[in-house]
Structure 1
Amino acid sequence: MTDPRTMNTQMAARILGSPADPVPEAGYALRVVRTRGRRSGEPRDTPIGVTRLHDRHYLVSPDTGRDWVRNLAAAPECTVLAGGESRPCTAVPAAGEEAASVVSTYLNAVTVPWALRAFPVAPDAPVEEIAAHLGSIAVFRLEDRS
């Protein structure tokens, strides 16, 4: 079995080497998010699904302890990459109803079983149930840096 770091590197290379799919409204598309390592300061690339809701783009993690989440918490500037596209962004933590709605949208768009199992709620969970788990789920709104 391949270790997660190798799998992430391979997936990131595939995303970067393929044309970028558009991010559909109430859906997601794969991208590579480049953060700055909170200890090393070095660039860190993570393959991730970018979710779009109400014409805004978001990153969602079922675990606030993931490295990319902690990197963004320390330095919110990031770059979203795919297929030759590069979008400098600032990742702004989302909370409350906004965050719960984004998580619901993400869970209903994703079809990968292992990704869904990582969340503390089911895809059909009501927004109120999702809101009760937001302490362990990270949601960032991506704002363009100009």
Structure 2
Amino acid sequence: MARKYRLGVARKAVNALVKALLARGIPAAGGTGFLLTTRGRRSGTDRTTPVNVVEDGGDRWLVSPYGQVGWVHNLRADATARLWRGRRRETWEVEEADAATAGPVLRAYVRKVPVTAPFFDAKPGDPAEVFAAEADRHPVFRLARSRA
């Protein structure tokens, strides 16, 4: 049974540290870490959270290893993702992937960011189809088009 994500005091502290490092341009998580800024779906204010961007199949992907979190809802309401680390800033249109497309991406994500593996029922060595069965609990977004 996969662990449930809880945003407790310890995780908030780690997120604050990672956000500070990324804001200064210091890569986290093997260089895949970025800050994601989305527009709040209700408030309209900017919300920023650390994420990992993975490359798979020639595309770049945002994966929510912790499920239906705030930034997922925000991207569904406004499909614009602003990614940044230090002075490097990119704005992307995103497209949510279906389960068949998400399966191989989720498998690649767990292999590249192993700290998230406990939040998946599938194991890193499982086939993509096993990960595809979890796609409804781990939304995947393709960074579709850059808006420079």
Q: Which residue of 1 aligns with 2:32?
A: 29
C-alpha distance in 2, partners of 1:9/1:20? 14
Report the alpha carbon displacement of residue 20 of structure 1 after superposing the two structures with TM. 5.1
Q: Which residue of 1 aligns with 2:142?
A: 141
Deviations 1:35-57 (A, max 9, x none): 01111111111101100012211
In the alignment, structure 1 residue 13 sits paired with structure 2 residue 14: no
Total equivalences in the alignment: 140
In the alignment, structure 1 residue 94 sits paired with structure 2 residue 101: no
Report the alpha carbon displacement of residue 90 of structure 1 after superposing the two structures with TM. 1.2
C-alpha distance in 2, partners of 1:75/1:135? 19
Q: Which residue of 2 aligns with 1:130?
A: 131
Change (3 A) 1:133 1:111: closer
Q: Is residue 51–residue 59 contact of structure 1 (8 Å, CA) maintained in 2?
A: yes
Structure 2 counterpart of 1:2, which letter?
V
Deviations 1:55-111 (A, max 9, x none): 211011134420111111111112010121000011210113321111111111123
Structure 2 counterpart of 1:145, which letter?
R
Change (3 A) 1:50 1:79: same
TM-score where L is the length of structure 1: 0.84
Structure 2 counterpart of 1:12, which letter?
K
Structure 1 counterpart of 2:95, which letter?
V
Alpha-carbon RMSD across the aligned residues, in angstroms, is 2.2
In the alignment, structure 1 residue 117 sits paired with structure 2 residue 124: no
Find 2:47's aligned residue among 44, 48, 51: 44
Q: Is residue 64–residue 70 contact of structure 1 (8 Å, CA) maintained in 2?
A: no
Partner secondary structure for residue 91 of structure 1: strand
Q: Is residue 62–residue 120 contact of structure 1 (8 Å, CA) maintained in 2?
A: no
C-alpha distance in 2, partners of 1:60/1:95? 13
- Runs of 4+ residues over 4 Å off in structure 1: none
TM-score where L is the length of structure 2: 0.83
Unmatched 5+ stretches in structure 1 = 22-26
C-alpha distance in 2, partners of 1:133/1:31? 24
